[in-house]
Structure 1
Amino acid sequence: MAPIRSRSRVLLAAAGGLAVAAAAGVLSTAAAHAAAGCGVDYTVSSSWPGGFTAAVTVTNLGDQINGWRLSWSFGAGQSVTQLWNGSVAQSGAQVTVTNAPYNGAIATGGAVSFGFNGTWNGSNPKPGSFTLNGVVCTGSVGQSPPDTPTPGSPTPGSPTPSSPTPGSPTPTGGSPTPTPSSPPPPSTGPTPPPVSSVGGSGPYPAGYETVSNLANHTLYRPASFPARQLPIFLWGNGGCSNNGTDSLPFLREIASQGFLVIANGRPGGGSGSETSALLTQSMDWAAAENNRQGSWYYGRIDTTKIAVAGWSCGGLEAYEVSNDPRITTTMIFSSGLLDDNNDYQLKRLTKPIAYIMGGPSDIAYANGMDDWGKLPAGLPAFMGNLPVGHGGTYTQTNGGEFGRVAVLYLKWRLLGDRTAGQNFVGVNCGLCSNTQWTVQQKNLTL
């Protein structure tokens, strides 16, 4: 395996703008009175002094929507500073989010999700009500008010009521209340095509594939989807290799446990070398496919649970995108920052991190241990060293010991498996005694 090599940091940019043209013409009476209804799940996923991250899931209970606009009012002076999977406009307390180009359609019973970073001062209460295309979201189905746009023809910038208008739907006794915390159930997507090189020890034998709209990547997934959604594991290769099958046994093993793995580079490699921008492309693609009707990934990806990881040079790339608010946890495999000028990447870490290193003979050992000593105070962190050197165990059957431990960590952090978490937490953790691992811990709790 080639050693870590120095390279320039790739600056990332996120395109969040959405240009929408107002629709012309007169709305028909029938269209204006189409069945409408919605439910909204608003969750503050993380909070810190003066700031927070929120996740919003909108469930459509009425007729299909082909363009959406969600509005609400903040009650304590909060402001949206950055939003993904949509476009935002805020005037005072009033916030309006419109769909991105790839997630405007919401089928009956379907859902769409977006998230944002915001600021707060003093308190951060949840908004009291939401309106979707002018219809108040009550969790039941009514009729679109005559003076609101037809679902599918939002007019960004037009006034949106922040409280119920005459004729708005009200809850009806006996109406089921939806659970809008997840996109459409996995069964809604079409049957996926076969994947190559199926294997792995998990309950969902997995293989890999390529797709035309993410051509510079390799996707590892179960040959048959499980009933639950697939959390995401993003991978940067050692040596900045553009070969997405360099660590096939390791990545396939993770996928066989019910994860969607997206590795930088095509199967077998291609020209040039990978960059951290490919990791961001993976996240953008997953969000788009999860909401695109007709995709075999439609509703099957858990875009709220994402681990970014990489080996050697790939670990440096994982660092570069680890501050993306969509990331749940970071995993650094046999890697460490090469220059103290990049220590700002450590200071901005806010999500749990795990280091999987090859022991003192690992050429990245000194750099990784230096990073460990500079982590922000209070950050949950795990350090595991196995004396296998820089090459790790990625090409061993099912990824060897690195594969086993990576699966346990992902089950804990992305699936909430406390039993798996016991391998990392406490003085009597599963990796702490009677193993070849040398373990260090910071701020870890189950």
Structure 2
Amino acid sequence: MVAGAVGLAMAATVGMLTTTAAQAAPGCGVDYAVASSWPGGFNATVTITNLGDRLTGWNLTWSFTAGQTVTQLWNGSVNQSGAQVSVTNASYNGNIATGGTASFGFNGTWNGSNPKPGSFTLNGTVCTGTVDPTSQPSSPPPTSTPPPTSTPPPVTSVGGSGPYPAGYETVSNLGNHTIYRPASFPSRPLPVFVWGNGACSANGTSALPFLREIASHGFLAISSGSPNGSGSTTAALLTQSINWAVAENSRQGSWYYGRIDTTKIAVAGFSCGGLEAYEVSNDSRVSTTMIFSSGLLDDANDYQLRRLTKPIAYIIGGSGDIAYPNAIDDWGKLPSGLPAFMGNLPVGHGGTYSQTNGGEFGRVAVLYLKWRLLGDRTAGQTFVGSSCGLCSGTQWTVQQKNLTL
């Protein structure tokens, strides 16, 4: 499940719908999951499973039963008329192989109650999770996510404490980046974590133990900068990371084809990299933002705080962290209703990125990503409520805003 929520309703940009789907769907299943909910708003993800022949375009429709409204949608185009909602594929996710999936996410509003829709229709066929006997697919759907279409190359420096030992690689179509991934792919798609380095350094391995630890728990972590690279980065490299992940997930022939969950993306950074993360946090594809030992340096940039709509987490090195005053200032200026977490650990500005498995920052980052990007409520208990896992019996000092499981 995805995690991510907004604190402000955003106006939906909807238009006339052009349906590209030419085929009926003889069988389909739909997984509709509300990842986060707060007074008046919610965030949901929808995953379509095609149980019939390959589709070259799709249109999914449903009816809300309690007056809910879609305010923003990504990985598709939406049209809503009253309770009736219709979503058509984006240009890059219209093809769904037999047994394949396509996903999109959206933010919405509700009033009083927020029940899930009772049924979904894909290209005119009601999705029941079974195949229409009058139109059997040419081959039975696989029981798990299909393997990559080509063999992944080995990764460098394998390690991490998670169930999927991970390392890093570089690829020709994403220059000046370092990609951390499991050496062997898990059966589920990989949520995405894009990272800006401290000092805006172009050394993509400067936080190797930390990023490898995240990847070892089944995430795709992409760092700005090449391994042991030199020079400086910009926020544009974080956007390039997101663009690449979305493109590779739909590019046949890629070993990432169908293996990346592009509805679950976190943008993050340390120090100067945190400022880069702020810059791209309003990208509609971003599910959550993580700011590590960073804060805006100039009140003229406070507009970046006002435009935040997705959950945010601050991981700071305590009062001895040079970024502490700026982070606290940002915390006080966050939009009303925005789900936010701040944890301070007295380790100073340098954090724990170079420690084994990223140290305590690595452990807490993994738990936050499991909560926000995988919908792991147990992991979420680390951050939510007066008895949260970091709230007592630890060296952490915790602040919370608008957090619910």
Going from structure 1 to structure 2, the CA distance change for 1:70 and 1:123 (only over 3 Å counts) comes to farther
Identify the residue that residue 203 of structure 2 maps to in structure 1: 243
Out of 230, 244, 249, the residue aligned to residue 190 of structure 2 is 230
In structure 2, how many angstroms separate the alpha carbons of the residues matched to 1:400 and 1:53?
Answer: 31
In structure 2, how many angstroms separate the alpha carbons of the residues matched to 1:241 and 1:332?
Answer: 16
1:264 aligns with 2:254: no
Residue 68 of structure 1 aligns with an amino acid whose one-letter code is G
Identify the residue that residue 152 of structure 1 maps to in structure 2: none
Say whether the 8 Å CA contact 1:184–1:299 is kept in structure 2. Answer: no
**Deviation (angstroms), 1:127:** 8.9
1:58 aligns with 2:48: yes
Say whether the 8 Å CA contact 1:84–1:114 is kept in structure 2. Answer: yes
Out of 326, 329, 337, the residue aligned to residue 288 of structure 2 is 329
Going from structure 1 to structure 2, the CA distance change for 1:406 and 1:53 (only over 3 Å counts) comes to closer
Going from structure 1 to structure 2, the CA distance change for 1:386 and 1:37 (only over 3 Å counts) comes to closer
**Deviation (angstroms), 1:225:** 2.0
Report 1:9-408 matches (<5 A).
Answer: 36-41=26-31, 55-65=45-55, 67-70=56-59, 72=61, 83-86=73-76, 95=86, 97-100=88-91, 102-116=92-106, 126=117, 130-132=121-123, 135-139=124-128, 140-142=130-132, 185-190=144-149, 191-269=151-229, 273-408=232-367
Say whether the 8 Å CA contact 1:78–1:119 is kept in structure 2. Answer: yes
Identify the residue that residue 400 of structure 2 maps to in structure 1: 441
SS of 1:407 mapped into structure 2:
helix
Residue 93 of structure 2 aligns with an amino acid whose one-letter code is N
Q: Which TM-score applies when normalising by structure 1? A: 0.72
In structure 2, how many angstroms separate the alpha carbons of the residues matched to 1:227 and 1:384?
Answer: 32
Identify the residue that residue 150 of structure 1 maps to in structure 2: none
Say whether the 8 Å CA contact 2:340–2:403 is kept in structure 1. Answer: yes
Say whether the 8 Å CA contact 2:78–2:85 is kept in structure 1. Answer: no
Say whether the 8 Å CA contact 2:100–2:146 is kept in structure 1. Answer: no
In structure 2, how many angstroms separate the alpha carbons of the residues matched to 1:427 and 1:304?
Answer: 30
In structure 1, how many angstroms separate the alpha carbons of the residues matched to 2:28 and 2:391?
Answer: 49
**Deviation (angstroms), 1:423:** 3.4
In structure 1, how many angstroms separate the alpha carbons of the residues matched to 2:159 and 2:58?
Answer: 44
**Deviation (angstroms), 1:396:** 2.1
Residue 201 of structure 2 aligns with an amino acid whose one-letter code is S
**Deviation (angstroms), 1:399:** 1.6
Gaps of 5+ in 1: 1-15, 23-31, 144-168
Say whether the 8 Å CA contact 2:100–2:145 is kept in structure 1. Answer: no
Residue 97 of structure 1 aligns with an amino acid whose one-letter code is T
Q: Which TM-score applies when normalising by structure 2? A: 0.78
Say whether the 8 Å CA contact 1:59–1:111 is kept in structure 2. Answer: yes
Say whether the 8 Å CA contact 1:103–1:288 is kept in structure 2. Answer: no
**Deviation (angstroms), 1:123:** 9.7
Gaps of 5+ in 2: 1-13
Question: Residue deviations 1:235-292, cap 9 Å, x none?
Answer: 1111122221111111111112222111122222255x32223223323332333333
Residue 356 of structure 1 aligns with an amino acid whose one-letter code is I
**Deviation (angstroms), 1:308:** 1.8
**Deviation (angstroms), 1:184:** 8.4
Point out the structure with max Rg over C-alpha: 1
Q: Once the two structures are aligned, what percentage of the paired residues are identical?
A: 72
Going from structure 1 to structure 2, the CA distance change for 1:413 and 1:296 (only over 3 Å counts) comes to same
Residue 232 of structure 1 aligns with an amino acid whose one-letter code is V
Going from structure 1 to structure 2, the CA distance change for 1:106 and 1:184 (only over 3 Å counts) comes to farther
**Deviation (angstroms), 1:116:** 4.7
In structure 1, how many angstroms separate the alpha carbons of the residues matched to 2:398 and 2:384?
Answer: 10
In structure 1, how many angstroms separate the alpha carbons of the residues matched to 2:49 and 2:253?
Answer: 18
Q: How many residues align?
A: 383
In structure 1, how many angstroms separate the alpha carbons of the residues matched to 2:271 and 2:64?
Answer: 47
1:420 aligns with 2:379: yes
Say whether the 8 Å CA contact 1:336–1:367 is kept in structure 2. Answer: yes
Going from structure 1 to structure 2, the CA distance change for 1:184 and 1:333 (only over 3 Å counts) comes to farther
Say whether the 8 Å CA contact 1:363–1:390 is kept in structure 2. Answer: yes
Residue 95 of structure 2 aligns with an amino acid whose one-letter code is A
Going from structure 1 to structure 2, the CA distance change for 1:71 and 1:198 (only over 3 Å counts) comes to closer
In structure 1, how many angstroms separate the alpha carbons of the residues matched to 2:326 and 2:347?
Answer: 17
**Deviation (angstroms), 1:311:** 0.4
